[in-house]
Structure 1
Amino acid sequence: MNDNETKRLSRLTAILIQLQTKRLLTASELADKFSVSTRTIYRDIRALEQAGVPVLTEDGKGYTLMEGYSVPPVMFTEAQANALIMAEQLVLKNKDTSFIKDYIEAIEKIKSVLRYSIKDKANLLSERTRFDQNINRERNSNNLSDLQFALTNFCLTKIEYSNEQNENTTRLIEPFALLSTENWLLVAYCRLRKEFRFFRLDRIQKMEVLTDKFEPHKMTLQEYFDKYH
């Protein structure tokens, strides 16, 4: 998921919560709130409708939700919940404090309807993910969703990794945290080197999430930084 897709997911979520908490919303109100065009809002509303959200249009007045509709507990899969957590981290970098407040409230409402197992995993992922201030650079990776799953389910992961000298090695790793800098970085315990290492996601040539589990690491991400850096 690239930054534009992540931002759109965060906006769709916030729009959904706004529709749940207000009687009527116009496209221009939503466009101003999220600093996008009304055409973008029209596309967002269509996307919500296609996802099964009963958005009603009252001519000349705006959008509203069908009476009695609420976000169902089974609406989000584990992967979708993980994507929302990533979106949350991006939103926290936004300069608009009102938008941050609205989105955090939206995320909390969504977390409240997640199944307990998914909620626990989503909270863990939130604690183990860091973004720096430079959020606009392109980061190429096809493995992010699988690594989120491995991290929150404590699955041993096998990777073929190419280092800066283009030397390839096969590693068994225990995913611990995800960092967004100039590139996506995975912090993981490497069983080959017997220590924690950084792995650039764009240098992972092949990856397989195994069924074997590893013992969860008890420290927090901040404790990791304090201990190793």
Structure 2
Amino acid sequence: MEYSEVNRLSRLTAILIQLQTKRIVTASELASKFGISKRTIYRDIKALEQSGVPVLTEEGKGYTLMDGYRIPPVMFTEKQANALILAEQLVLKSKDVSFVQDYSEAIDKIKSILKYSIKDKANLLADRTQYNQVKNQERNSNNLSDLQNALTNYKLVKIEYINKENSVSSRLIEPFAILNSENWYLVAYCRLRKEFRFFRPDRIRKMEILSENFEPHNMTLQEYFDKYH
């Protein structure tokens, strides 16, 4: 499959999620979000309709989906939906770009499967609890999602790390835990120092997730603190 086809398929999926997230979505909104022309949006909407997606056009307003069309069949209560929306505000305070982006995309997908009545309330709550200074705050790292993936799949990670004295070193590390206290911290076994160390993701200058697996450290986070602190 050509890249352009893959790109369009990905965009059609994203448009479908947007349609499920809000009651009404305009062509202008979609064009702005995906950086394409409104004419391309019209073609994409037509493609979705031809594939059997029940897109309805409300004259002078925008596009909406026939009520009841949802994927997949997962349901949240109103209180559960509200808890997720409020949790998003905590995530938006994160200083890692990848984590904020992944969570925001997940929230969009969750919103897309809510019933219209709960969806409207969830969107209202999101509008009333957003803080621009939080949403627009500066991010200082963009590797937390990859580190989470390496941690859960026991993948060795090669990094170029800048310590607090601004000295750069190359390390092979085995991710063990991720903590947060104003900044994010990665607890990992460092093969260079032959001991567990704390690493700040914003001080990782270069990172590569290797295909090599490491032997899992069979202890809980509490056991780690009891043993090493």
Q: TM-score range by the shorter chain?
A: 0.3 to 0.5
Q: TM-score, normalised by structure 1?
A: 0.47
> Normalising to structure 2: TM-score of the pair?
0.47
